[in-house]
Amino acid sequence: SPTQPHPHPHGRLLIVSNRLPITVTRDKHTGQYTFVKSSGGLVSALSGLSSNLPFVWIGWPGITVAQNDEATVTNSLLNSHASIPVFLPPETAHAHYNGFSNGILWPLFHYHPNELSFNKEHWDGYLDANRRFAERVAKEWREGDTVWVHDFHLMDVPRVLRALLPGKNVRIGFFLHTPFPSSEVYRILPVRKALLKGVLDSDVIGFQTYDYARHFMSSCARILGLHCFPDGIEVEGRKVRVGTWPIGIDPTKFVKGLQSESIQAHIARLRARFKGTKIMLGIDRLDYIKALPQKIHAFSHLLHTHPSLQSKVVLIQIAVPSREDVLEYQNLDRVVNGLVGKVNGRYGSVEFVPIHYVHKGVGFEELVALYAVADVCVVSSTRDGMNLVSYEYIASQEGQCGVLVLSEFCGAAQSLNGAIIVNPWNTEELAQAMYDALTMPQKQKETSYAKLNRYVHKYTAERWGSSFVNELRSLPSSYNGTQLT
């Protein structure tokens, strides 16, 4: 039982994230719950760590669970998946997820302030959800355990957790998977002080890139008047370590996938279907930060300026449905549908469809097959914390040498040397990059790909996870006698 002292001499890692690594669904007719393991980056990053540091995952199950079913769901998650659910009342879940996290913080952190509408009830819901998460963590925590809190949904958890465990040596790490914006943008937020104070109760705060860490420190200096060092911030006599830990993927999963018979069969089907046609691929959640309209405009410009390419190249765009209860996502859906129709109407024919638009999620096998057959992958985000699609594409091109067109506004652009880096706001530049990618000489493709592939195999998710956790566990806890002198 989670309330008994645990038998691990070096403690465990308590991972706290909004989503559990398990998707929980409930059958409407039978009322039965099913639990499906998700294959997200965080899951594979941390599974490598588990051999020497057992972990428990604490998160929101993603659905409303009736009170009578809470015990059953908790038992299944705990016993089979080392996961502990945090149940949220529907109003709290809505205000926290759709309201403050995805309606306010997400647009603000991605430089989309027009999509932001501040609402006090959403902020209250955010605080309430964060308090419930922290309470569950405090209940689970034992001497020696390390806590690692993830992402913008849970920035107040470190503060509440400290308050719930006074005098305890709790080591708390926080990692932001999204960008942290310039202080000039961050300061728009009405609750800017409270949010910074919440996260500053961590011992280590990690970011994907040096720029995000720098923006965070400037915000703390300008908004809270704190003193910053190159590697941290002084907060009430403690030193909070602030640094950069760029995430990666588990590339072997994709390389192994390529060897499977069913994926090879899938690849063969796709090759036959698109014989004689070059394939450009986009895989994105349907989110305004992914800049699908910009990508489609550029593709249209490419076909307009190079008529010889008409009927010789397709854009396969997978748009995974996301956050569909948030108005801005509904608007984007309409805009993208309209644009796809327009380009297909203008440049298509009865025999030829230029844009193959799929508004659905794809399973792992289809995903790897698509990556494998794509001559070019286009990531056009106007902002993106890292963007792991670009890494997955490289890993899945093993044995080939596809070309990656990558927006300069992705965290990945700082590390993926060998990609064609573009400004997605410049339609002509993006169209030119698509053209250059489609016509790149073989030798150049090989050299660029080799550089990219080396990087993706060296800076893996596992390396990211262990270096962050090692730093967190090797630092003396800032709450345990390491006062600045």
Chain residues that interact with ligand G6P, rule: CB under 6 A:
19, 151, 177-178, 322-323, 385
The residue (of 288 and 299) whose beta carbon lies closer to ligand G6P is: 288
The whole-angstrom separation of Cα 160 and Cα 138 is: 9
Q: Please answer whether residues 125 and 99 qualify as being in contact, where contact means their C-beta atoms are separated by less than 8 angstroms.
A: yes
Tokens found for residue 429: 């530049």
The residue (of 385 and 465) whose beta carbon lies closer to ligand G6P is: 385
**CB contact set of 99 (below 8 Å; sequence gap of 6+):** 119, 121, 122, 125, 126
Q: Shortest CA distance to 217 belongs to which of 179, 178, 182?
A: 182
Minimum CB separation of residue 271 from ligand G6P in Å reads: 31
Minimum CB separation of residue 450 from ligand G6P in Å reads: 28
The residue (of 297 and 383) whose beta carbon lies closer to ligand G6P is: 383
The whole-angstrom separation of Cα 332 and Cα 297 is: 14
Minimum CB separation of residue 355 from ligand G6P in Å reads: 24
Helix residue ranges per DSSP H, 348-401: 364-373, 389-396
φ, ψ at 8 (rounded to 5°): -95, 115
| Total count of residues recorded for the chain | 485
Q: What one-character DSSP code corresponds to residue 114? A: G
Q: Please answer whether residues 25 and 65 qualify as being in contact, where contact means their C-beta atoms are separated by less than 8 angstroms.
A: no
Tokens found for residue 25: 């669904």
Minimum CB separation of residue 365 from ligand G6P in Å reads: 21
Minimum CB separation of residue 52 from ligand G6P in Å reads: 26
The residue (of 285 and 451) whose beta carbon lies closer to ligand G6P is: 285
Minimum CB separation of residue 178 from ligand G6P in Å reads: 5
Q: Please answer whether residues 241 and 467 qualify as being in contact, where contact means their C-beta atoms are separated by less than 8 angstroms.
A: no
Cα–Cα distances (Å) from 409 to 63, 83, 111, 315, 424, in that order, read 33, 34, 11, 21, 8
Minimum CB separation of residue 62 from ligand G6P in Å reads: 8
φ, ψ at 373 (rounded to 5°): -90, -5
Q: Please answer whether residues 299 and 313 qualify as being in contact, where contact means their C-beta atoms are separated by less than 8 angstroms.
A: no
Q: Give CA angle at 426 (434, 210), nearest 5°.
A: 90
The residue (of 248 and 354) whose beta carbon lies closer to ligand G6P is: 248
The whole-angstrom separation of Cα 104 and Cα 97 is: 10
Which residue has the closest beta carbon to ligand G6P?
177
* CB neighbourhood size of 225 (10 A): 7
The residue (of 55 and 152) whose beta carbon lies closer to ligand G6P is: 152
Minimum CB separation of residue 24 from ligand G6P in Å reads: 14
The residue (of 241 and 323) whose beta carbon lies closer to ligand G6P is: 323
The residue (of 19 and 96) whose beta carbon lies closer to ligand G6P is: 19
The residue (of 152 and 435) whose beta carbon lies closer to ligand G6P is: 152
